[in-house]
Structure 1
Amino acid sequence: YNYAEALAKSMLFYEAQRSGTLPSDQRVPWRSDSGLSDGADNNIDLAGGYYDGAGYIKYNFPMAFSTTLLSWGVIRYKRTYEALGQLDYVLDTIKWTTDYFIKCHPEPDVFYGQVSDNAADSQYFGRPEDMNYQRRSYKIDFSNSGTDLAAEAAATMASAAIVFRSSNPSYAATLQQHAVELYDFATNAPRRSYKLSIQPAAQAYGSSGFQDELAWAAAWLFKASKNKLYQNRARRHHVVSSTEFSWDVKTAGVQLMLDDFDKQDLYPRVATFCNWMLDSGPRTADGLLHLNSAYPAKYAANAAFILMLAYEKFPRAARATEWRALGIKQINYLLGDNRKGQSFVVGFGDQPPTQPLHKGSSCPLPPAECGREFREVNSPNPNVLYGALVGGPNEMDDFSDLRTLEDQSSVSLDGNAGFQAAVAGVIHLK
């Protein structure tokens, strides 16, 4: 498969999701400025960042995880991005989040975690450029804390600080300072899930706990600073096992980073996760890991990224070559290695999806009107959402290219992040 094309188009998806004032070199012709008044209800400028998926809510929790994965991919596969001429694009993709997060973090113990909500967004079906409804902004602070959100944002800033250290050291220092402050906020404020403070988040991205985020943040701060305080805290916060790696559960990523820090070679902690995927991970007949019926493709891609990283770090582990093969198999399946030869990436390969659930690409170009009826029309989206990884097939490998089937046609920031990082890994291993 043309992995280089898949990686390049994934970044076009992120450009299509941008909110705020778009740059002059924006490559998605049907997008322009939007959300310029975000934060006005709290007298703060929150223009920027990314819309999460089909609509126009900015959920900072999955945005943070997505950006951390993209940074991890660059840290590990920088030469691959350079060789493909894609390094500048991925740095811009990461910086679009971190510039926004700097705005969201105006004080050490304040972080804005969401703009708009499902109640408002579900009433609007049109272009982001035409939004005229009230978009509320939501924050956490010391009195209304959010341990998981603050820690996740800390991990994002720390990982991005590593990415920018050589090309923009002053910016990297700023990011690292934000990471330290956000981690301190997460650990010093009362411990509780952010969904209790930002209640609309619970409808889509309500975290199931915060110990993994605390460990994840500490691990990235140790990697960025080499301060052993963070290494010790990552060990202390660490949760033992998991059967997924996702926006909600970071345990496998933490295990991999702790293994790297502690130099365990033959029997890494992450082996439990990888071997579970080999032996017990539910799969379709054609071999896709089917870990979640809602958007199975992204869970498979995230697992693939961990499997390939584990192989690279611990090639002498007993089943390392099996980890590698299973990881590559997931990416190949998503690009067309299945009985129908079907791609699950919009605008890529054979029989790609043409009806992703996505308001902006479902709207015809202005001045034509756009309304809710476009969701019900059984025809390709007027604008191609290049690079978007859709939800994927059911457990029987069946897929219907209909935007009305949300589990199969959804797109999301975190859906593409692990996928893009894993594609970079396949290119590297090939």
Structure 2
Amino acid sequence: MPSSLGSRTKASSSDTDGCPVRFVHTISEAGRLLPSASRWNSIEIDFNLVPQSANGYDSLSSRYSKSVDYDLIITDRKYFKRFLYISVSIALAILLLVLLILFLPRKHANHGSSQNLTLAVNQALTFFDAQKSGQYPSNSPIKFRGDSGMHDQDSSQKHDLVGSGRNGANIPNDINCWQRPEQMNYARPVSSCGTTASDLAGEIVAALSAASLVFKEDTVYSKDLVAAAEKLFDLATKDDPKSQGTYTMVDACGGDGRTFYNSSGYEDELVWAGTWLFFATGNTSYLEYVRTGYKTAEVLLTRLLYFHDLGYPFEDVLASSSNMTDSVMCSYLSDHKFNKTRGGLILLKPDYGTPLQFSATAAFLSKLYSDYLDLMRSTGRRCGSDVISQKMFLYILGDNPMKISYMVGFGDHFPNKVHHRSAWIPWDGQLYSCAEGERWRMSVDPNPNVLSGAMVAGPDQFDHFIDERDQPLFTEPTISSNAGLVAALIALHDPHRNPSDSNGINLGIDQTGIFRLAPTAP
């Protein structure tokens, strides 16, 4: 083979060793060796598969600075045709695959609406309008509700809440009488709680304290909320052990509520109350109560550690809270700690039923914690808690084996036989007795009223859901479950990006506003 650049080499019938030459190399103008390891690199197209140029191949321009000629010789036309057929078949197969990918429905294509969290938040909030008792506002978006429970007030005790759930066929109550709330006329007894209901007191203190921060612009109202919270907290945390306990311990307080909403302790509620009172007042004595009585992990305390570390003597309990919160958040992702359905729904209390209320709250807490880490630009402590939030809500809003949205009114397929008296009895101006209302409960027809925004209890541990009114473990919504739903939807909702933020981080969290009254580290 000549060594000069630009030379032309042809195959001859013999060589110096007497063997025929079948494949040859040509040196390109760029000084590179052209490939000829295969017989198809030495083929000359000479049987009119393509039109011949009138000017010949020498007239075609080259990608290099000078053209390079080399002759290709067909040694077996049958193999070449087979090669062409195979090549064309592969090309068509690739084209068909691309078309399938582009035009066939994707796995979750029918759940695109589940990404519309703004719509989901608005709908979830309307559920609370459907739960109101007393004089009903005329401007409510729920048009199948009206005044209810107007006779609940006891003239002697001046209480205006609670009801009865005792079993007894001859005594109508909230459980066995299937009437619209607007038509209730049976007795609804009142329960009265003293200072021994520390769990209830703690929740009320926390709510009043948090509300004082929300309404801080209304200084008079905000101060009244704080004053009431401090007074109640003092009563609930007296040193006298007889003054503390759960509401379920006292018959007059717990009443029939113990059958449905049992309480296992009160310490966590008082820690929760003390934490919010600290934020509402800046008084470290409340945080000291939390420090000495702290036993459980709280995301709220973790926020205090991350964004407003007070140092000694609180750093130990705050660090412990952070470590425990890390463990809880990451445990949501562990198949060893919590079970999951085959469809991916986390089962925090598999024997309790109604799994969605727990998974929704877990989604909220994990997303909030993930946002804290993002604000800190922390990567070493992440275990994917933001992923579990997205998966849980895609599941709740329709991405599940039943292909059903468990929030009523959202999406194309959702429960239509919700266990809810206002939803399953028509609002037609007719009075229905308890017995007459029973026929509506047993009807196979969908509810005449759509309880928009209500999240039902959810499926069983096998992802199976029964849409029937007489199956409350599947179809009953609750205020507590919708509270977790709304919190998580807001947490997952993408906030507007702040153009002035060079790092692009604006998670909708007021990083410091909650600490406006809190002292700084010494």
- TM-score band by shorter chain is 0.7 to 0.9
Among 398, 402, 406, the residue aligned to 1:336: 398
Matches of 2:367 and 2:272, distance apart in 1: 19
Distance 1:398 1:259, change over 3 A: farther
Distance 1:154 1:42, change over 3 A: farther
Among 372, 377, 381, the residue aligned to 1:313: 372
Secondary structure of 2:260 counterpart: helix
Answering whether residue 245 of structure 2 is matched by residue 192 of structure 1, we say yes
Paired position in structure 2 for 1:213: 269
Among 322, 329, 336, the residue aligned to 2:384: 322
Distance 1:148 1:173, change over 3 A: same
Paired position in structure 2 for 1:98: none
Paired position in structure 2 for 1:274: 329
Among 369, 387, 412, the residue aligned to 1:350: 412
Matches of 1:121 and 1:213, distance apart in 2: 28
Answering whether residue 303 of structure 2 is matched by residue 303 of structure 1, we say no
Answering whether residue 39 of structure 2 is matched by residue 39 of structure 1, we say no
Among 101, 104, 116, the residue aligned to 2:163: 116
Paired position in structure 1 for 2:439: 373
Matches of 1:320 and 1:173, distance apart in 2: 39
Q: Gaps spanning 5+ residues in structure 1: where?
A: 47-113, 241-250
Contact 1:148 1:213 in 2 (8 A): yes
Deviations 1:372-404 (A, max 9, x none): 222222221111110000001111111121122
Answering whether residue 422 of structure 2 is matched by residue 360 of structure 1, we say yes
Contact 2:275 2:301 in 1 (8 A): no
Percent of aligned pairs sharing the same letter: 30
Answering whether residue 293 of structure 2 is matched by residue 237 of structure 1, we say yes
Secondary structure of 1:423 counterpart: helix
Secondary structure of 1:371 counterpart: helix
Q: Give the letter for the 2:467 counterpart.
A: D
The structure with more helix, counted as a fraction of residues: 1
Paired position in structure 2 for 1:395: 461
Q: Give the letter for the 1:8 counterpart.
A: N
Deviations 1:262-282 (A, max 9, x none): 486995431111111111221
Q: Gaps spanning 5+ residues in structure 2: where?
A: 1-114, 167-172, 311-317, 496-506, 508-522
Q: What TM-score does the superposition give when structure 1 sets the normalisation length?
A: 0.77
Answering whether residue 217 of structure 2 is matched by residue 156 of structure 1, we say no
- The Cα of 1:313 is off from its aligned counterpart by 1.2
Distance 1:161 1:170, change over 3 A: same
Contact 1:222 1:228 in 2 (8 A): yes
- The Cα of 1:407 is off from its aligned counterpart by 1.1
Q: Give the letter for the 2:339 counterpart.
A: P
Matches of 2:298 and 2:177, distance apart in 1: 38
Q: Give the letter for the 1:357 counterpart.
A: H
Compare relative contact order (CA 8 Å, sep 6+) and give the higher one, 1 or 2.
1
Count residues with an aligned counterpart.
350
Contact 1:150 1:183 in 2 (8 A): yes
Deviations 1:185-239 (A, max 9, x none): 2112611111122232211111110110010111111111111111111222222
Matches of 1:123 and 1:273, distance apart in 2: 40
Matches of 1:123 and 1:402, distance apart in 2: 17
Secondary structure of 1:121 counterpart: coil
Among 118, 121, 128, the residue aligned to 1:4: 118
Deviations 1:348-390 (A, max 9, x none): 1131111111111111113343512222222211111100000
Paired position in structure 1 for 2:488: 422
Contact 1:344 1:352 in 2 (8 A): yes
Contact 1:255 1:270 in 2 (8 A): no
Q: Give the letter for the 1:270 counterpart.
A: T
Paired position in structure 2 for 1:291: 348
Matches of 2:309 and 2:459, distance apart in 1: 39
Matches of 1:265 and 1:355, distance apart in 2: 47
- Give 4+ residue runs of structure 1 displaced > 3 Å after superposition: 251-269
Matches of 1:277 and 1:162, distance apart in 2: 31
Contact 2:330 2:383 in 1 (8 A): no
Contact 2:199 2:265 in 1 (8 A): yes
Distance 1:407 1:202, change over 3 A: same
Report matched runs for 1:78-89 at 5 Å: none
Contact 1:215 1:236 in 2 (8 A): no
Matches of 1:420 and 1:176, distance apart in 2: 25
- The Cα of 1:415 is off from its aligned counterpart by 0.5
Distance 1:187 1:373, change over 3 A: same
Distance 1:270 1:286, change over 3 A: same
Distance 1:254 1:235, change over 3 A: farther
Q: Give the letter for the 2:125 counterpart.
A: M
- The Cα of 1:258 is off from its aligned counterpart by 5.4
Q: Give the letter for the 1:416 counterpart.
A: N
Matches of 2:379 and 2:443, distance apart in 1: 51
Answering whether residue 231 of structure 2 is matched by residue 174 of structure 1, we say no
Contact 1:290 1:296 in 2 (8 A): yes
Secondary structure of 1:270 counterpart: helix
Question: Aligned Cα RMSD in Å?
Answer: 2.2
